[in-house]
């Protein structure tokens, strides 16, 4: 058997999947959290897992890392199922309002269009690509996806609930969606490659299950809209308290500087 050709820009000899290049990219993205001089909108976007995934896809296209496609389709499908589950019943409107507060005003139709471009198009195109090339998706890609997802959550937020990064949402249900999508996507892709349409249909229905649990929940919208209002109220209180502390410190500094120094007479 002829030796396997090394991937482009191979960082470490023998690393046939060029994982080291992906680790460096993840390190750079994670470091963006510690750049306080960035505009708030840019910092928010660099802290979003969807944009991490889009950055990996852009790096894959720019450097020709075809061997990343099985991982990218698994990760992209996990993000799609998670977003649809966490922000069902129009809860994504709270995300649009948060972007507006950060300075990005988007009409509803444009927000929905960008939503599908960022969340729906990547997994669909990647799935079509691996099926067309008959590039099988190894189940280990599920593990890689979960490792990256959990590392992102603890690096950016110190726990699995990412409501502080985004807006309040059912984070436990979202993680169930990640688990289901991560372990189902490789099987779905391989079933499509094998032309086992009945099996593929079953896996597709499994992917829909987390979203249906949110879509059919009668208390879903009211619960998380209330939590979003509560989060906004707490944010305004914290901002007001922070502003008053700075004002108080400034007043103390000015009053201290206005007191003339007097030399005490010796007795």
What are the domain boundaries of the chain? 52-238
Give the three-state DSSP class for 122: helix
Q: What is the pLDDT along the chain (267 residues), one digit of tens a residue?
A: 445 688 888 888 888 899 999 999 999 888 887 777 778 788 888 888 999 999 999 999 999 999 999 999 999 999 999 999 999 998 999 999 988 888 889 999 999 999 999 999 999 999 999 999 999 999 999 999 999 999 998 888 778 888 888 888 899 999 999 999 999 999 999 999 999 999 999 999 999 999 999 999 998 888 888 888 888 787 777 767 766 676 666 555 555 555 555 555 554
User: Would you state the pLDDT for residue 228?
Assistant: 83
Query: Can you give the pLDDT at residue 257?
Result: 52
Instruction: State residue 267's pLDDT score.
Output: 45
The Cβ of residue 209 has, within 10 Å, a number of other Cβ atoms equal to 14
pTM for the full predicted model:
0.84
Name all contacts of 115-120 with Cβ < 8 Å and 24+ positions apart: 115/83, 118/50, 118/51, 118/54, 119/50, 119/79, 119/80, 119/83, 119/84, 120/80
Collect contacts of 212-221 with beta carbons under 8 A, ≥24 apart: 213/85, 213/173, 214/84, 214/85, 214/86, 214/88, 214/89, 214/170, 214/173, 215/88, 215/89, 217/89, 220/88, 220/89, 220/91, 220/170, 221/89, 221/90, 221/91
Residue 122 · residue 76 · CB < 8 Å: yes
Residue carrying structure tokens 């890609």: 141
Q: What is the predicted pLDDT for the residue at 188?
A: 96
């Amino acid at each position: 058997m002829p030796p396997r050709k090394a991937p482009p820009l191979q960082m470490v000899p023998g690393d046939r999947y060029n994982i080291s290049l992906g680790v460096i990219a993840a390190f750079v993205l994670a470091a963006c959290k510690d750049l306080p001089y960035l505009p708030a909108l840019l910092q928010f976007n660099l802290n979003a897992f969807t944009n991490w995934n889009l950055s990996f896809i852009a790096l894959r296209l720019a450097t020709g890392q075809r061997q990343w496609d099985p991982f990218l389709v698994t990760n992209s499908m996990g993000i799609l199922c998670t977003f649809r589950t966490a922000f069902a019943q129009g809860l994504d409107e709270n995300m649009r309002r948060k972007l507006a507060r950060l300075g990005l005003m988007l009409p509803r139709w444009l927000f929905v269009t960008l939503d599908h471009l960022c969340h729906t198009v990547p997994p669909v195109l990647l799935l079509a690509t691996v099926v067309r090339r008959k590039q099988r998706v190894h189940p280990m890609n599920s593990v890689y996806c979960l490792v990256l997802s959990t590392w992102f959550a603890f690096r950016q937020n110190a726990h699995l609930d990412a409501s502080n990064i985004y807006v309040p949402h059912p984070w436990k249900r979202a993680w169930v969606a990640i688990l289901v999508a991560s372990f189902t996507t490789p099987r779905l892709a391989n079933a499509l490659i094998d032309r086992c349409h009945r099996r593929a249909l079953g896996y597709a229905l499994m992917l829909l299950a987390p979203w249906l649990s949110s879509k059919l929940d009668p208390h879903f919208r009211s619960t998380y809209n209330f939590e979003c209002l509560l989060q906004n109220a707490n944010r305004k209180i914290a901002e007001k308290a922070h502003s008053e502390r700075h004002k108080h410190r400034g007043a103390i500094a000015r009053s201290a500087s206005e007191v003339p120094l007097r030399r005490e007479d010796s007795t």
